[in-house]
Structure formats: C-alpha cells, structure tokens
A and B are shown apart, each in its own frame.
Chain A
C-alpha cells in the first residue's frame, strides 16, 4: 500500500478515537515539553553567564593564587596568599610582560557598612584606579578615586546603587562618611545601576583603594587576584606565558607542576562555564528523557488495548484484501503519527513555557535573560518521539498483523 494511503488509513483510525488518542500522547507531550524547557533554560543561563564574563572584556587575563583546582575537593587551594606586592611590581615592569596594557590587583570580601543607624552588608572590592576602566563602570554621581589616592591610602569609597539606597535612602550620599568594619570612609562617588559584571554585582559593591583595603579592612599583605588586560587578543597567549615565567621566577618555582598560582583567560572561563552548564543541561535532559520512555510504554499499552478492541476491524480489513504488512504498517503509522503529534505539541508547549520563564526572569528579576529556542533540541525531540512510536508501536502492530482473519471476524 502506498504511504499516502497508509497515512490516510492511520489518520482515520486515530480520528475515530480522538480522546483516547489525546490521552495516549500526554506522556510524550510532557516528556518533550520538559526536554525543550530544560534545554532552553540551560541555553539561556549559559548565554547570561557568558555575557557577564564578556562584560570583563575578552582581552582580560586573571591570575589566581593557589594551585588550579582540579576538582571540588581542591577548592581550599583557591584561598592562598601567594600573590604579593613584589609580584605586582615584577609583572608591572615592561621588560617582564611587554604586552600587558593594564595590571590591576584586587582584594575583596564581604563587610558590613553603616551610615547612622542604617547598616548593609556589601561586597567590598579593593582595587587600583584602573578598576573603572577594566569593568567599564564610572560613577553616575561624584568622582572615581585616582592612582594618587591609591598611593596616598585615602579612605575613599565609591558605592553601588543598592548600597546607596540601603544606607542613605533618598538623601544625598556624596561627601558623607560611612563606616566599613568600624573604619571611616568618605563617599566620593555613586555607581549607576549596572547589575552583575563578571564575578561582581556592582549594585551591591563598595569600591575602595586596594591599599586601604589590604591594611585597614582585610589586614592582609597579599592580593586575591591580578587582573591584566593584554594589548591585543592575539597577544593573550604570550602575556599568559610571560606572567607565568615572571611569577615562577619570583616564587623560585622550576617545576610548573608546583605552581602556587594559575592564570585564567576569559576564553578558558567561558569554556569551563560552558562545560558545566552543558553537563547540567544534559543531566536534566536525561531525567526528562525517562518520562519519554514511560510515555512510550503508555503508548504501547494503549495500542495493545486498541489492537484487541479492533480485532473485528483487523479481520474485516484482511477479508477485504489487506495483507499482513498492510495491517502492521497501519498500526505502526498510527503509533508514529501519535508520538509525532505528541512531539510537536511538546515542542510548542515547552517553547511557550520557556518563553514565559524568560519573561519572568528578565522582567521580575531584572536579569538580562534572553529566550532562545533550542532548534537542535526540537529536531532531536521530534525525531526521538517518532522513534519511540516506532519502537513501542512495533509489538502491538505485529500482534495486530498476525491475527487470523477468521478468528478476528468471529471476535465479539
């Protein structure tokens, strides 16, 4: 029998059992919906994280103290004191790292801040004056601190928009004195609303000079990070190599295996985060895929019931000239059409839900979340649902095809 005729026959079979057909595909619809939803949100999360990393600029290189963590148990190594003032001076010399455009040391930590009776626990970021250029954020009110403020150990603070609101409400903040960890700081600038850039939410941050940060706030003689920008993107590998050599010399390390620091480029970070979100998405998708198998078993179950129920119809069709393979194909087609429709419905519903989630995340939470339709996921989802129809339809269809026409006709 021709495919077109088969399709028509199968459609007639399905149409005569509309509500049951619909209930049959629910499992598939839910499974595919879940997969599309997870893939779309996973993609959105990845895009969001990557766009935030890119906020730091693609030429940015970060030197992190401690050994490069190779697994979750290695995390303690991150908090190390190996990056010292001496290292900063060495890598700042042109002859050591010729292609470095900017070199910025930073220290950071959570500290409570206070103005009058109001208190707020903010992230305090101590940096050099390059911080405004590196993160591309400048005070909307007031002024940034300068390099001479850094050297002169001025207790100046540039505060994020949320810090300002929490401490000052509507009243004027620039020029006022706030307390950070019981030390006095003068507010000289207020940052515009910016949200997350790289590791920091700039709305909840207090920027101070790293010199004051080290001495007065954190009481440390080392740095948490060096943030370096290469002069061109092509020179990134060279800068990374120069940084490594300079720091190894400074630390007296000969075996790279024993490095007490590691260098990360934005490309590394993007790759790493991409891998993590991909693994998470894969995990969630495979959980959702289990529901597809359950849905497939549901289809097989209903198809078997249908085969028994339609025994007379099968017998009649055979008497009228249907060969075994015609019956087999008819039932197989019905199963595949069912799951195919289930797949399409699932893709549509999943995409709609994902779009809804992206609206909520971007409108209600203020994230720069973009909806993305997982084309790959949709194609795979559609194919998988068809294949499930094929796999779980074959057993009932074979049972139907093997029915003896006389037994089938006599069946009451």
Chain B
C-alpha cells in the first residue's frame, strides 16, 4: 500500500521579478515500510522535497496524497496535527531544547497530542530505551556527546509512534563512528517496526543502508532505483 503519492510536485519561490525553482515537478510514490535515501548536491531540492513531505511547507503546484488522503486542502491546524501524529523529524543540528533534560525533550511532542498525561511517562521511557539512552534520562544536551544528542532526538521523533521518520542529514554533524551507530539505529527501526524512513544524506556509506535511492539534480529526480 502506498503511504505517499506525489505528482508533479513543484515549489517555486517568487521574489518580485526573480523566480527560483526549488522543485520543478517531482512524481514518485513510497510504500509503507520503505527505507529511502535522497541524495544530491546542495541546491538540488532535496531539503525542499523533505519539507513538503513533512507538511512543513506547501507546494506551489502538483498533488500530494498521504495515507490515501489528499492533504492539499488541509488547514494549518490539521497539518500540525498530522505532523504531530504521523511524522517524526530528525535534524542535522539535533534541535534539542538546551536547558531541558533528555526526558523533557522527548516529552515535547506529547504536549501537542491527545494522549492522556498518565501514559506519557511510559511512552517517554520506552522511546528512550529504544535508542539505548535510558541511563541519560536526566542529562541536559550540554552533557551529551553528538551521537547521544542525535539518539535523544530520534527518541523524540519516536515517542508518538509515527508512520514515517524524516531525517535531514542526521549524521551530518557526527564523526564516522557515531554516524554508523545512528544509521544502524534507524535501519533497525525500519526493519524491526516496519517504519517508513526517508533520509537525506551526502555520504555513500550512510546511503548504502537504504533499500531505495533517489538522486536529485536541479529540482528534479535524476535517478530512482531500488536494490
């Protein structure tokens, strides 16, 4: 079953006379449980594509069907709800709240959910355990290594058990050893829980864990192959 279906997705920034084509008509579909790596040089439109897929931005043309539903007509509030429920984000710069513990950081998405507060503690602890950070619950980001920070961020993306995890260069700020640990963690999440993962990366060594590669160039898909 297709989780994502996009057709002729376009994103054009207009600034007076200037037109910048960030995404110039992209069509593809993603099945549930796929692990996809999007690669390409900077400015090729991969981040724009990821933002559109994650409902952080709206396309200027084309259609986007998520989980069998046409979401183009959704309001900002409805999009916020889908982001909360169905999607987990992992960022290159981690984006953890600096003066809050791992526990507090992982709790963040729960604030915006419908889940009753009695269930929060168990959900936070199981998400933190899934990334192997149970011994770091009360630590603040300043006391963690880069790899641990990204683990905490992944725990945050998992806490509401989303359909899909979108990762924007999750290993971009990490050394090779930590990078490998993080990609293995994502790979495990994909294989064990069948969670759809789409990640952007520059590194071939990271991309090789994926089952499908989408190579982008100048706002278009240059190459899309499955292994």
Contacts and interface: CB of A to CB of B under 8 A. Distances in A.
To the question of whether A and B form a pair in one complex, the answer is yes
Contacts of A324: 76-77, 80
Contact of B113 (A313, A319, A321, A409): A321
Given A1-B112, A5-B111, A323-B77, A16 B56 contact: no
A9 B111 contact: yes
Interface string B97-109: 1111000100011
B89 A319 contact: yes
A409 B95 contact: yes
A323 B76 contact: yes
B95 to A, nearest CB: 5
B100 A16 contact: yes
Contacts of A325: 77
Interface in B108-125: 108-109, 111-113, 117
A16 B76 contact: no
Contacts of A5: 111, 117
Contacts of A315: 95
A317 B156 CA distance: 12
Interface residues of B, number: 27
Contacts of A8: 111
B35 interface: no
A contact face: mostly helix, strand, loop, or mixed: helix
| Most chain B CB inside 10 Å of its own CB: which residue of A315, A316, A318, A320 | A320
Contacts, number: 67
B212 interface: no
B85 interface: yes
Contact of B80 (A313, A318, A406): A318
A324 B56 CA distance: 13
A55 interface: no
A321 B83 contact: yes
A405 B56 contact: yes
A12 interface: yes
A1 B111 contact: yes
Interface string A175-207: 000000000000000000000000000000000
Interface of A: 1, 5, 8-9, 12, 16, 312-313, 315-326, 404-406, 409
Interface of B: 51, 54, 56-57, 76-77, 80-81, 83-85, 89, 91, 95, 97-100, 104, 108-109, 111-113, 117, 156, 160
Given A5-B117, A321-B112, 11 more contacts: A5-B111, A8-B111, A318-B83, A319-B83, A320-B108, A321-B85, A321-B109, A321-B113, A322-B80, A326-B112, A406-B51
30 contacts: A5-B111, A16-B97, A16-B98, A16-B99, A313-B97, A315-B95, A316-B97, A316-B108, A318-B56, A319-B54, A319-B83, A319-B89, A320-B84, A320-B108, A320-B156, A321-B81, A321-B109, A321-B113, A322-B80, A322-B111, A322-B112, A323-B80, A323-B112, A324-B77, A324-B80, A326-B80, A404-B57, A406-B51, A406-B57, A409-B56
